[in-house]
Structure 1
Amino acid sequence: MYAAPTPYCARYKCIALTFDDGPWPYTPALLDTLKKHKAKATFFLLGRKVESRGELTQRIVAEGHEIGNHTWNHPDLTTLSNEEILDEMTRTSDVIDRTVGRAPTMMRPPNGATNARVGEVMIELGLPQILWTGSTLDWQARDVNVIAKRTLKLAKRNGVILLHDIVPETVKAMPAVLKALEKQNYRFVTVTTLLQGRELQGGEIYPRPSK
């Protein structure tokens, strides 16, 4: 009898590094670092930035990374009408589809701000909501050593870490972070790989926030 292969993250110690708010002029340096370490990541992109940086968006996908919808303008979705939420999401999915040939299959609400109504719109769009197990607050820290220490402290098996490729100190911190995590036998994977074959439903929140 044929046995299904064991999922990658059941065999290895996986972690998903996620980068929000790009693509940005610092993103190429981050991609160079990820390539050097054979690391895959997930990028939650803003539609207006994809529109102006199409080639960079294509490079992210070409190098094996995953991209998700992070809205067009980074609003707090809970403050918008349903029509405005739909506009933010569909404009972004459409420009990503035009740029890389496929629409994203997941989204991240800006600042993690979501509620039942936002979830209902995501059900309609078929987009699961990806949050995180730990945030580095790198946009606040703006310090290479602080960001590196926070990332390493938050690291855990099957963790989803929130970072930003629009923060230059984050990009500068990544070589040391990846090197340190490699020594701890981590494998750097996309959110989809982390799911180990599980399919998320539209509107579903993953990972569930801890109480």
Structure 2
Amino acid sequence: MAVLAAAGCTGQVDERRAGAARQQVALKKKAVPKPLPPRRMDCAAVKCLALTFDDGPGEYTARVLDDLRKAGARATFYMLGQNVGSHPDVVRRMPLEGHEVANHSWSHADMTGLSSGAVRSEVRRTQEAIKRASGVAPTSFRPPYGSTDARVGKAVGMPQILWSVDSLDWLHRNVRKNVRAGVSEPEKGGVVLFHDIHKPTVTAVPEILAGLKKRGFTLVTVTELFQGQRLDPGGRYTELGEKGPTVAQ
């Protein structure tokens, strides 16, 4: 009887342990964070602006994410596929904090100088890299140098998002000029181009965010900006409210 009782107690302990283990697994599954969905925005009424950052991810991108989080702002990151593998945690963080991941080609080649097959390869490889790192597949493309045409647009197969304000941060690498361009030049419904690979740009971000907030802007992702407007695959867009897609010839 004593042996049977001991065996019974052991079985109960094992069952409790198994139950606890199952509960821990369930809790871990529930705790897996999910990307924040786009907010419902009426950018025809709200003073919306989309900040976009190209050519990353890089060594400074996490700082940009930190500053955006502190400001309660969202942005869109047009990333190079060849850079994604070096910063997977940063890319994963983007959609979890409400930012949009987007495609800027694999190698930053001029798409008009590539064959249609090569364009498709650049896009596809980048889609796969970003999806693998973030769990989210991009829905828009930005051609390097803004260089595109009808053939490229057809090969890309996604809306092509350009910009209404080019900060020229890649050229002057100057914090004060970045702030001036980022705060003074944008208009409602605009898309602003920066590069998160340049330290002076990243240094300017907190002041840019504060200045835009003071001007009354709500900082949104590209998808949030255009959610009330149809975007055609291959179409080229620079700001909200365009009468239709502009396709370079």
Q: TM-score, normalised by structure 2?
A: 0.78
Instruction: Select which of 201, 204, 207 maps to 2:232.
Output: 201
Instruction: Please name the residue that 2:44 is paired with.
Output: 10
What is residue 76 of structure 1 aligned with on the other side? Answer: 110
Other structure's SS at 1:10 match: coil
Unaligned runs of 5+ in 1: 1-5
**1:111-150 maps to which residues of 2 (within 5 A)?**
111-123=145-157, 127-150=158-181
- 1:49-198 aligned within 5 A: 49-123=83-157, 127-198=158-229
- The 8 Å contact of residues 82 and 107 in structure 2, kept in 1 or not, is answered as yes
Matches within 5 A, 1:33-52: 33-52=67-86
Cα distance per residue 1:139-173 (max 9 Å; x no partner): 11111001111122321001100000001101111
Aligned counterparts of 1:173 and 1:100: Cα–Cα separation in 2: 26
| Distance in 2 of aligned mates of 1:48 and 1:180 | 33
Q: Which has the higher contact order (CA 8 A, sep 6+)?
A: 1
Q: C-alpha deviations, 1:165-204, integer Å up to 9, x for none?
A: 0011011111111111111111100011111332312101
1:3 counterpart residue number: none
Per-residue CA shift, 1:121-144, capped at 9, x if unaligned?
A: 123xxx110000010110111110
In 1, Cα distance between equivalents of 2:104 and 2:96: 20
How many Å apart are 1:11 and its aligned residue? 3.2
- Residues 59-117 of structure 1: CA deviation (Å, up to 9, x unaligned): 11111100111011100000011111111110000111122223111100001000111
Q: Distance in 1 between matches of 2:168 and 2:74?
A: 21
- Any idea what SS the aligned residue of 1:92 has? helix
Write the distance in 2 (CA, Å) between the matches of 1:8 and 1:25.
Answer: 34
Q: If the length of structure 1 is used for normalisation, what is the TM-score?
A: 0.91
- Structure 2: runs of 5 or more not aligned: 1-39, 239-244
Alignment size in residue pairs: 201
Structure 1 residue ranges (4+ consecutive) displaced by more than 2 angstroms after TM superposition:
196-199
2:164–2:192 CA contact under 8 A, matched in 1: yes
CA deviation vs aligned residue, 1:42-70 (integer Å, no higher than 9, x gap): 00001011122111100111111001110
Deviates more, 1:9-18 or 1:40-49: 9-18
- Write the letter of the residue equivalent to 2:129: V
User: Equivalents in 2 of 1:10, 1:117: separation in Å?
Assistant: 32
Q: Which has the larger radius of gyration?
A: 2
- Supply the distance in 1 between the matched residues of 2:41 and 2:77 (Cα, whole angstroms): 22
